[in-house]
Amino acid sequence: MSSLFRLPLLLAILIAGFAAPVLAQNFTPHRAIYDLDVMDKPKATTFSQVDGRMVYEFDATCDGLIYSHRMLMNLVTQQGQTIRSEAVVSFLESKDGRSMRFSVRESYNGQVTSHREGTVKRSAIGELATVTFSRNEGEDKDTAPDTLPRGTLFPLGHSLDMVRAATAGEIFHNARTFDGDDVSYVDTFISADRGDRETILPEAMKQTEAWIMRVAFYRPDAIDSAPYYESQMRMFANGVSGSFTLETDNLSAIARLSEVELREKPICD
């Protein structure tokens, strides 16, 4: 997938020893909407104008965690060319961390450029995982992995483990993740939340603990190089992400939280 549209998704993946069923109960099902805009950056980027919207949804059942987002972006290059992009992503992760279903689709100007769907399965979190694609279309289809290294995290599990690390007072978190497209190494620096919070937060979140997280994504074959994608966000303990930045070599944008709807948690034995 193009690094232009890789998002923290609110960063997913499970590691050996991670108690997903316990932590998952602390994430609140919700729907969040973000408005996209260009962000000032010292160096010139490919796109001089950015606008759009991202709709993010997190839900949970007694057996699994469900994440989806749809992001529409209107981009204008420095030369005046207009590009309309769309990314539609969904994941269903089992709470025991052993399986995941995924769908990742990306379009430019109405033409689908990449579409992958499939499953990931492993006998235990610490074992190798097998990736089976039911759909694998796009220019990079031959690079899709068929196995994942031990300890690779899924989208959501990664977010959960970052919050676990923050709650424990850790200031650095690193992981290997799989987002349905590629494996990435992800480094996260965690700091206290001392800024002004978003004014549209629901009353129930006014006292929710939060942290500022700076996240950098690296390709497995270039971990000593600069990250291909970076993001900074306010991450709340209930799984909601505040406004966040998106930075690549081509793009510098900000996603401002404009709406949050909290939903009921499932009642499970």
CB 121 within 8 A of CB 97: no
With CA atoms as reference, report the closest residue to 246 among 89, 104, 86, 34. Answer: 34
**Residues 73, 84 contacting (CB under 8 angstroms):** yes
Q: Do 218 and 227 touch, CB atoms closer than 8 A?
A: yes
The pLDDT value recorded for residue 44 is 66
| Phi and psi, residue 150, nearest 5° | -55, 140
Place of tokens 């997190």: 58
Query: Residue 43: what pLDDT?
Result: 63
Neighbour tally for 106: CB within 10 Å: 21
pLDDT value for 153: 87
Binned average pLDDT, 10 residues per bin, the chain of 269 residues: 40 32 65 91 75 92 86 89 92 88 92 93 89 88 83 84 91 90 91 91 92 91 82 91 88 92 85
Looking up tokens 């603990």, which residue turns up?
A: 209
For position 135, what pLDDT does the model report? Answer: 94
- Check if the beta carbon of residue 35 is closer than 8 Å to that of residue 246: no
pLDDT score recorded for residue 42:
56
Cβ count within 10 A of residue 30: 20
